[in-house]
Structure 1
Amino acid sequence: MQHNFKPVVKLAVMAAALICGNAMAQSSVTLYGMVDAYVGATKAGGADRAYGVNSGGMQTSYFGIKGTEDLGTGLKAIFDLNGFLRPDTGKQGRFDGDALFTRNAFVGLQSATLGTVKLGRNTTPYFISTILFNPLVDSYVFSPAIFHTYFSASNGRVYDPGIIGDSGWSNSLVYSTPIFGGLSANAIYSFGEQAGSVGKNKWGGNVLYFNGNFGATVAFQQVKFNSTPGDVTAPTALAGFDKQNAVQVGVSYDFKVVKLFAQGQYIKSDVNNATGDLKHTNGQVGASIPVGNGNVLVSYAYDKTKNSVADFKRNTAGLAYDYNLSKRTDVYAAYFYDKLSDQSHGDSFGVGMRHRF
């Protein structure tokens, strides 16, 4: 006797398809990234000029994998593993020795009504406020705001390490509120993970407000160490370092014909030695001007850094034209000028391309 199993098989295939489709709708995994490279030259103050093909002109290149799973009742599980890369050499990281996923490496929970919690290595709220309120965003080659915040500087008498602790913090916990009428807040705490001591830690946060054409932010962070931190490259200059407090405010307004930006920042590093505490004060103004299928980007920053025995002043400017070939691809030409008192100026220029995937 023969049995016709075709209807049963068809029903099983349809059920499996529905189950898989439902699972696919509830979870997703995305491979994404951005590649940026340029040809040009760089010259630090007091140094010779270097020509070549370099990476990360307008933005540091990165790649990653991220995903979500719908857990029901408005709750989602999220993760992100995201690392920097250098397309000019094919190497991972921003520099030799940089870890694989230093841009972000976290797992967490997200709720539309309760907010988001992330555990792992997280981008700091302070960095987010820095890049959102200057026209050259997070360019580590052409943005004055990035240089005055995240780069060290010295005139031979005063050493300024800039913000200590990187743009991302390992061993960190982040909480982000939902957005209420354009207002949101983020808080971060990074554990020192040092046995028998809780002194080595970092914490901070920001408040963001966006309403129509107007935007504003206030950000704060404190980095505390039991001894001179390893990411200070001149420990002799900062012997006796204890902690650093930083505060920043920023505003922007889009007039459509031009978008204006302004930032102010104060960084105080407590140093227990003969030179005393280090005080850094800077401001930045800038504009993004639509021209053709792109934008002219211009930014200027001024800084004064001092301790009890000496000081220096710093003037920095950046100018670029960023042209959109498509929604994912743009080309750019940029120039950067940097001058510390009592030093010859430094500058950089280049023409490059950026592609997002």
Structure 2
Amino acid sequence: MSIELTQDHVFQTYARQGRPFVKGEGCKLYDDQGKIYTDFLAGIAVCNLGHCHPDITAAISAQAGTLVHVSNLFYTMPQAELARALTEKSFADRIFFANSGAEANEAAIKLARRFFQAKGETDRFKIVTMQQSFHGRTMATLSATGQDKIKKGFYPLLDGFVHVPFNDIEALKAALDDTVCAVMMEPVQGEGGVIPSDPKYIKAVRQLCTDTGTLLIFDEIQTGMGRCGTLFAHESYGVTPDIMTLAKALANGVPIGAMLATEEAASGFEMGSHGSTFGGTPLATAAALEVVRLISEDGFLASVCEKSAYFLAQLNGLKEKHKKVVDVRGKGLLIGMELDVSKGKTASEYMAECFKKGFIINAIQDKILRFAPPLIIGTAEINQLVAVLDNLLAGEDH
């Protein structure tokens, strides 16, 4: 029934798979016919602590019975406590709460421009982003995104965005002039193919921004909240931005976004310069506060790193065994496996085959399998998926 209702009444902008899901528990999802799936996508890197984590469920339930929304015209405790927790665990001094990653990135774009315009530098408005980047689907974040395929039909886009090759410091140097206010980048490109920053490159980007007085924005919407083995992916590189955006896993499935900034960068906003009706509701921030607590428990992030090393080793074993596998790359539990699709099955077909066998993965650019399981995934589940992939790949060996 829900399939027909969705097809009849919902915009057909998604190629949905399978039967309706009716239940989630840990790393498992259940459809309306009782079939069980092992989730290696986590709602696109959202449910980092698995589905219906009991402690997060309890926090949501308690808050829903107490206070859900009053708007940002008033103070609320969960929002204040979450802001304190995030600033204590990051480089940031100030937080702006939104409802999604796109909204968090919109806020970052607006802050970067206003930071300079408030100082009278009205010609300094351009933002340099990376080719193959993904920053959202609003008009500003779409303009910031470095992928032409998702821009089709939405022209003209907003002015003021320049795209340069990722991991190419000379290209970035050439793009920086006195009209640029910020560099915006993902520490690991997710939608762009699961491509990590080169350590030397990201450090050089930080130094270049410092030398030119340019703001550095890290889009950590997909890479943050433990996904890459540290609370924020940039921590493993030993660099810090001026502004950072979070969303996806921040509240483990409850919609929320956040823009974090240093005190200096935050000075670009003043009373009334930006806002959000639903941003940082008591419900969403109560859920996020519990997420932060759980991810911060002793040994949690270390376990992510251990499982990452194990998963990468197993996938690299498939690369050695099957010519179809071109590359395995990633950071933490954000991993991509690139396939040779010049002949044989595409990544989308592999995704569909895995789905039939009860494993949820993702295909991007039709040649890359993306794995972003809940961070609580076990080695047994990893072994099961690798065995399925091994069998599928063996079917194309010649």
Which protein has greater RCO, CA pairs closer than 8 Å, 6+ apart?
2
TM range (shorter): under 0.3
**What's the TM-score, normalizing by structure 1?**
0.27
Please identify which structure carries the higher helix content: 2
Larger Rg: 1
